[in-house]
């Protein structure tokens, strides 16, 4: 009984590894016209500074114009690793599974990132680099920019998908004017 | 110089900051109706459980407690950091509150989170004298929610606490109905062979324990906020909202395995202290612990809050629903866990008859280091962050290897372990402990005698700590019961091998056959209680007085000279 449970668990685990390797993470969560696309800094109409604390954003809501390009300066002011990710609630939910994998593989270790592990070849040219243009993953004290051109509308949130963070309320709303 | 200046500024600011909240509590005889039975009990302001006391961090509270009973009473503010005279333990903090008397507690609120309060006199707490405390923080919390509910669990028994204790003393298995039967002996024999079965039974007989002793008190009705399973306490929500559930286990004896089928739960606080959020399908809440979780029901439907007792002899049930009167399926009780030889640790073959003679020499030959599955000291270098989830269930380091008690989630998902807990924002700088104190949790089930290092409270010297030191406590559980150890007045920093991120608690479970470490910054002068929070274990002697020597002059304990009118449990 126990043994068979273990085998099932093992199977489920290796399956999700292969689903992972098949690569939603290698660019997957930038897809979907509804959220917009990477923008050029030169086209940005303004800069919004987003501070990441343990475990919440300041501000927790931003207003944008349809089609607006915004330069986000994202600063991690907390003591833990945090993410800033622009997406729909469904995209965030899918990404949370990947982030859980990153924790289980020791890529995210509470307050630091294991960069060797992030660059490790997972097969088929995939890795856990977390280098999609709609998101940044930052250690405490780090700061980075995201330039994003929003679509005309959509159900968009910026969110931290480090396990447990989104669930406990680390997200903000993007409201269209 | 700077420090002095700071102190002066603080003193000047104090009167302005000290918003005084005034609260009144009466201690009353009440009627308790569980849906299964009605009994006489004790409550606050005419009800059991008592009211939810809502404090604000930074205020000073005055609580007037009027004793309407014909016996002594007391209130202990479980988990609160306060001057020891306000801690409410008769014979240690104060003499107790006489019948007809009003006693006014007054203390500053220096923390936030979910806590509870209860009588520390006789068996008034199991008889119903408990309530919840919710403290709102000064700053913002590291999580967000749209609404919140206290979910306070208890194990309400038809017998009074005094009667239960008498029965346990006379016949320790009085309330243990799940003992193995002759029929089970034959079915075990056919599976495991006759001699293996006989050997197993003989070993357990030698322990003076029955194999089914996961719980020594059965026959209770589980209550949530005072409501039995049929009375179904219900919390309302709008789909999509995040709800903070403040779970408090106010049971006399019962551990609960808690789940909300269809909803995962993100644990954000343990024993009032924020933890790094961890999403689970189920968690075990020990007696006197609290866990705050956030759930997010998205659908227009009811969800059951299901709390099965660890020994599966009973359950509590409540509902989250968009409307009053809706309900969801109530799962059946799972098969009871059975203790295994692993839960006896390496004490197999040891003569436990010697244990209650209080001679520590008998134990000296025992090799604790061979309890490899349980010794956490070897784990400090281990990277818990890289632990895989799928073998977590089998390898929970807080259970003996091969233990029959290791919990698994009903849906096959994630079950919270102590090893998952990380402080969200460490309260203390990490530093080397100044010394280690070993506390062996000892007992003899056949005589229902429970003790620490083989010595009962009445015969024991107090534990003396020095103000300013950091003590490492080593709990070695030599019994086959789980003991929730509660140190009053100072925090228990649970060693989960995470260094500065070790979580801060007020109650530490020590499972059978395991060794668990916690550290305490000795930062509160005075004298304090330190005991197993299972009511009948504490009363039987698994209890110590702790004296903190030194510290700010004005606050030092006028020790020993305390009258002891009110009983100690």
Question: Cα angle at A166 between A80 and A99, to 5 degrees?
Answer: 70
Tokens 């700071």 sit on residue:
B6
Q: What percent of chain A has pLDDT over 90?
A: 58
Looking at the complex, report in whole angstroms how far the Cα of residue A40 sits from the nearest Cα belonging to chain B: 33
Q: Which of A9, A53, A109 sits opposite B390 (nearest CB)?
A: A9
Residue A71 has pLDDT above 50, yes or no: yes
Looking at the complex, report in whole angstroms how far the Cα of residue A157 sits from the nearest Cα belonging to chain B: 15
Looking at the complex, report in whole angstroms how far the Cα of residue B406 sits from the nearest Cα belonging to chain A: 12
Residue B358 has pLDDT above 90, yes or no: no
> Which of B146, B242, B279 best tests the A interface by mutation, with the highest count of A CBs <10 A?
B279
Looking at the complex, report in whole angstroms how far the Cα of residue A64 sits from the nearest Cα belonging to chain B: 23
Q: Between B518 and A129, name the one with better pLDDT.
A: B518
Helix (H, G, I), strand (E, B) or coil at A157: strand
Where on the phi/psi map is residue B394: left (φ > 0), alpha (ψ -120 to 50), or beta? Answer: alpha
Helix (H, G, I), strand (E, B) or coil at B345: helix
Task: Tell me if A165 and B277 make a contact (CB, 8 A cut-off).
Answer: yes
Q: What percent of chain B has pLDDT over 70?
A: 78
CATH class, range A2-176 = mainly beta
Cβ-Cβ contacts under 8 Å, A163 against chain B: 277-279
- Kindly list the residues of chain A whose beta carbon comes within 8 Å of any beta carbon in chain B: 2, 5-6, 9-10, 12-13, 53-56, 79-80, 103-106, 108-110, 163-165, 167-170
Domains of chain B, by residue range, sit at 15-142, 144-178+214-337+407-418, 345-406+425-569
Q: Taking a C-beta distance cutoff of 8 angstroms, is the pair B40, B31 a contact?
A: yes
Residue B7 has pLDDT above 90, yes or no: no
Helix (H, G, I), strand (E, B) or coil at B538: helix
The span from the CA of B478 to the CA of B346, in Å, is: 9
What would the mean pLDDT of B159-183 be, rounded to a whole number?
A: 80
The span from the CA of B122 to the CA of B127, in Å, is: 10
What would the mean pLDDT of B143-156 be, rounded to a whole number?
A: 97
Looking at the complex, report in whole angstroms how far the Cα of residue A144 sits from the nearest Cα belonging to chain B: 22
> Which of A15, A58, A168 best tests the B interface by mutation, with the highest count of B CBs <10 A?
A168
What would the mean pLDDT of B96-101 be, rounded to a whole number?
A: 98
Q: How far is CA B62 from the centre of its chain?
A: 26
Confidence of residue B198 (pLDDT cuts 50, 70, 90): low
Q: For residue B554, what pLDDT is reported?
A: 62
Residue B113 has pLDDT above 70, yes or no: yes
Cβ-Cβ contacts under 8 Å, A169 against chain B: 143-145, 242, 294
Residue B11 has pLDDT above 70, yes or no: no
What would the mean pLDDT of A147-151 be, rounded to a whole number?
A: 95
The span from the CA of B61 to the CA of B105, in Å, is: 8
Token duo for residue B41: 């009990």
Q: Between B385 and B65, name the one with better pLDDT.
A: B65
What would the mean pLDDT of B170-189 be, rounded to a whole number?
A: 65
Q: For residue A135, what pLDDT is reported?
A: 94
Cβ-Cβ contacts under 8 Å, B422 against chain A: 110
Task: Tell me if B277 and A55 make a contact (CB, 8 A cut-off).
Answer: yes
Confidence of residue B367 (pLDDT cuts 50, 70, 90): very low
Task: Tell me if A54 and B425 make a contact (CB, 8 A cut-off).
Answer: yes
Crossing angle, helix B182-192 and helix B194-206, to 10 degrees? 130
What would the mean pLDDT of B86-113 be, rounded to a whole number?
A: 98
Task: Tell me if B394 and A169 make a contact (CB, 8 A cut-off).
Answer: no
Please write the tens of the pLDDT for every residue from B436-487. 999 999 998 778 899 999 999 999 999 999 999 999 999 999 998 999 999 9
Tokens 């029901």 sit on residue:
B297
Token duo for residue B432: 């080397």
What would the mean pLDDT of B51-64 be, rounded to a whole number?
A: 97
ipTM value, please give it.
Answer: 0.78
Token duo for residue B38: 């009605």
Please write the tens of the pLDDT for every residue from A164-177. 999 999 999 999 98
Task: Tell me if A110 and B279 make a contact (CB, 8 A cut-off).
Answer: no
CATH architecture of B144-178+214-337+407-418: Sandwich (2.60)
Give the start-end residues of each E strand in B212-309: 221-224, 233-236, 243-249, 256-259, 265-270, 273-280, 283-285, 290-295, 303-309
Q: Which of A53, A163, A167 sits opposite B294 (nearest CB)?
A: A167
Residue B558 has pLDDT above 70, yes or no: no
The sheet that has A156-159: what strands, in order across it? A61-64, A171-176, A156-159, A82-87, A135-138
Confidence of residue B187 (pLDDT cuts 50, 70, 90): low
Element (H, E) at B214: none
CATH architecture of B15-142: Sandwich (2.60)
CATH class, range B345-406+425-569 = mainly beta
Q: For residue A107, what pLDDT is reported?
A: 86
Residue B402 has pLDDT above 90, yes or no: no
Looking at the complex, report in whole angstroms how far the Cα of residue B52 sits from the nearest Cα belonging to chain A: 24
Q: Could you give the C-alpha distances from B288 to A11, B40, B164, B271, in angstroms and in order?
A: 39, 23, 19, 9
Q: Which of B144, B266, B388 sits opposite A164 (nearest CB)?
A: B266
Q: Which of B266, B389, B422 sits opposite A168 (nearest CB)?
A: B266
Cβ-Cβ contacts under 8 Å, A5 against chain B: 412
Please write the tens of the pLDDT for every residue from A37-66. 999 999 999 999 999 999 999 999 999 999
The span from the CA of B183 to the CA of B185, in Å, is: 5
What would the mean pLDDT of B496-513 be, rounded to a whole number?
A: 96
DSSP state of B500: G
Q: How far is CA B509 from the centre of its chain?
A: 7
Q: For residue B345, what pLDDT is reported?
A: 60
The span from the CA of B184 to the CA of B188, in Å, is: 6
Q: Of the segments A85-89, B334-338, B553-557, which one has the largest average pLDDT value?
A: A85-89
Task: Tell me if A168 and B294 make a contact (CB, 8 A cut-off).
Answer: yes
Domains of chain A, by residue range, sit at 2-176
Q: Kindly report each contact of residues B501-504 with a partner whose C-beta sits within 8 Å and lies 24 or more positions away, as own/partner.
A: B501/A110, B501/B276, B501/B422, B501/B423, B501/B426, B502/B422, B502/B423, B502/B426, B503/B270, B503/B273, B503/B275, B503/B418, B503/B421, B503/B422, B503/B423, B504/B271, B504/B273, B504/B423, B504/B426, B504/B427, B504/B428
What would the mean pLDDT of B147-163 be, rounded to a whole number?
A: 97
Q: Which of B144, B385, B389 sits opposite A56 (nearest CB)?
A: B144
The span from the CA of B217 to the CA of B313, in Å, is: 9
What would the mean pLDDT of A139-145 be, rounded to a whole number?
A: 96
- Kindly list the residues of chain B whose beta carbon comes within 8 Å of any beta carbon in chain A: 140, 142-145, 242, 264, 266-268, 276-279, 294, 296, 383, 385-390, 394, 412, 422, 424-425, 501
Lowest mean pLDDT: which of B134-138, B388-392, B513-517? B388-392
* A–B interface: beta-carbon pairs under 8 A: 71
Residue A6 has pLDDT above 50, yes or no: no
Residue B216 has pLDDT above 90, yes or no: no
Q: For residue A66, what pLDDT is reported?
A: 94
What would the mean pLDDT of B308-325 be, rounded to a whole number?
A: 96
Q: Which of B552, B432, B492, B447 is nearest to B84 (CA)?
A: B552
Cβ-Cβ contacts under 8 Å, B268 against chain A: 164, 168
Element (H, E) at B4: helix B2-17
Crossing angle, helix A89-104 and helix A2-21, to 10 degrees? 120
Q: Could you give the C-alpha distances from B490 to A17, B83, B274, B422, B524, in angstroms and in order?
A: 45, 11, 17, 19, 7
Residue of A nearest to B277 (CA): A164
Residue A119 has pLDDT above 90, yes or no: no
DSSP state of B331: P
Cβ-Cβ contacts under 8 Å, A10 against chain B: 390
What would the mean pLDDT of B517-525 be, rounded to a whole number?
A: 98
Same fold, B15-142 and B345-406+425-569: yes
Q: For residue B8, what pLDDT is reported?
A: 45
Q: Which of B266, B383, B388 sits opposite A167 (nearest CB)?
A: B266
Residue A92 has pLDDT above 70, yes or no: yes
Confidence of residue B210 (pLDDT cuts 50, 70, 90): low
Confidence of residue B412 (pLDDT cuts 50, 70, 90): very high
Task: Tell me if B296 and A167 make a contact (CB, 8 A cut-off).
Answer: yes
Cβ-Cβ contacts under 8 Å, A109 against chain B: 383, 385-386
Please write the tens of the pLDDT for every residue from B29-45. 999 999 999 999 999 99
Give the start-end residues of each E strand in B435-542: 435-444, 449-452, 463-466, 470-477, 483-487, 492-494, 504-505, 507-510, 515-521, 526-532
Q: Which of B143, B390, B412 sits opposite A55 (nearest CB)?
A: B143
Cβ-Cβ contacts under 8 Å, B264 against chain A: 167
Q: Between A163 and B367, name the one with better pLDDT.
A: A163
């Amino acid at each position: 009984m126990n043994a068979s449970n273990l085998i099932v668990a093992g199977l489920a685990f290796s399956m999700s590894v292969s689903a992972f390797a098949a690569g939603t993470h290698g660019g997957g969560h930038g897809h979907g016209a509804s959220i917009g696309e990477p923008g050029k800094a030169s086209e940005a109409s303004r800069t919004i500074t987003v501070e990441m604390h343990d475990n919440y954003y300041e501000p927790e809501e931003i207003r944008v114009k349809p089609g607006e390009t915004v330069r986000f300066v994202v600063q991690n002011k907390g003591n833990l690793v945090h993410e800033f990710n622009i997406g729909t609630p469904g995209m965030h939910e899918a990404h949370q599974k990947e982030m859980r994998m990153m924790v289980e593989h020791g890529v995210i270790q509470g307050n630091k990132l294991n960069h060797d592990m992030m660059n490790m070849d997972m097969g088929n040219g995939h890795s856990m680099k977390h280098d999609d243009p709609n998101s940044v993953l930052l250690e405490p004290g780090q700061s980075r920019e995201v330039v994003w051109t929003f679509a005309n509308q959509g159900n968009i949130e910026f969110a931290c998908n480090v396990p447990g963070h989104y669930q406990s309320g680390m997200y903000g709303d993007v409201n269209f004017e | 110089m700077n420090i002095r200046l700071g102190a002066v500024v603080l003193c000047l600011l104090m009167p302005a900051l000290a918003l005084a909240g005034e609260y009144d509590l009466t201690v009353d005889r009440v009627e308790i109706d569980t849906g299964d039975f009605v009994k006489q009990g004790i409550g606050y302001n005419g009800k059991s459980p008592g009211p939810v006391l809502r404090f604000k961090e930074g205020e000073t509270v005055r609580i007037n407690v009027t004793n309407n009973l014909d016996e002594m009473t007391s209130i202990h503010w479980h988990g609160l950091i306060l001057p020891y005279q306000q801690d409410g333990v008769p014979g240690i903090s104060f003499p107790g509150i006489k019948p007809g008397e009003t006693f006014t507690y007054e203390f500053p609120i220096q923390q936030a989170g979910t806590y509870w309060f209860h009588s520390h006199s006789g068996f008034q707490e199991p008889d119903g004298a408990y309530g919840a405390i919710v403290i709102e923080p000064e700053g913002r919390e590291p999580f967000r929610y749209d609404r919140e509910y206290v979910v306070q669990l208890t194990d309400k028994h038809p017998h009074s606490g005094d009667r239960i204790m008498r029965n346990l003393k006379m016949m320790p298995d009085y309330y243990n109905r799940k003992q193995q039967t002759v029929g089970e002996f034959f079915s075990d024999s056919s599976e495991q062979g006759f001699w293996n079965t006989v050997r197993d039974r003989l070993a357990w007989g030698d322990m003076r324990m029955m194999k089914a002793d996961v719980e020594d008190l059965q026959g209770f009705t589980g209550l949530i906020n005072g409501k039995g399973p049929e009375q179904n306490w219900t919390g309302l929500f709008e789909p999509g909202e995040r709800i903070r559930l403040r779970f408090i286990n106010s049971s006399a004896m019962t551990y609960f395995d808690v789940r909300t089928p269809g909803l995962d739960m993100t644990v954000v606080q343990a024993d009032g202290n924020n933890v790094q959020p961890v999403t689970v399908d189920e968690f075990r809440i020990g007696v006197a612990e609290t866990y705050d979780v956030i759930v997010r029901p998205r659908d227009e439907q009811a969800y059951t809050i299901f709390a099965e007792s660890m020994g599966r002899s009973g359950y509590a049930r409540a509902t989250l629903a968009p409307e009053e009167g809706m309900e969801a399926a109530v799962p059946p009780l799972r098969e009871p866990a059975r203790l295994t030889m692993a839960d006896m640790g390496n004490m197999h073959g040891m003569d436990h008859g010697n244990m209650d003679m209080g001679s520590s020499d008998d134990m000296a030959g025992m090799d604790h280091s061979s309890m490899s599955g349980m010794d956490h000291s070897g784990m400090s270098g281990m990277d818990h962050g890289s632990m895989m989830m799928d073998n977590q269930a089998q390898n929970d380091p807080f259970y003996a290897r091969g233990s029959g008690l290791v919990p698994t989630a009903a849906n096959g998902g994630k079950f919270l372990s102590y090893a998952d807990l990380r402080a969200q924002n460490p309260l203390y700088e990490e530093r080397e402990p100044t010394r280690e104190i070993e506390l062996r949790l000892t007992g003899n089930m056949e005589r229902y005698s429970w003790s620490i290092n083989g010595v009962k409270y009445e015969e024991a010297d107090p534990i003396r700590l020095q103000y300013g030191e950091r003590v490492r406590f080593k709990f070695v559980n030599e019994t086959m019961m789980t003991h929730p150890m509660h140190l009053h007045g100072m925090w228990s920093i649970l060693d989960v091998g995470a260094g500065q991120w070790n979580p801060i608690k007020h109650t530490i479970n020590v499972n059978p056959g395991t060794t668990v470490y916690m550290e305490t910054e000795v930062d509160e002068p005075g004298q304090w209680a330190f005991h197993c929070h299972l009511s009948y274990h504490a009363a039987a002697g698994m209890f110590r007085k702790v004296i903190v020597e030194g510290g700010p002059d004005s606050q030092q304990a006028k020790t020993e000279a305390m009258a002891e009118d009110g009983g100690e449990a």
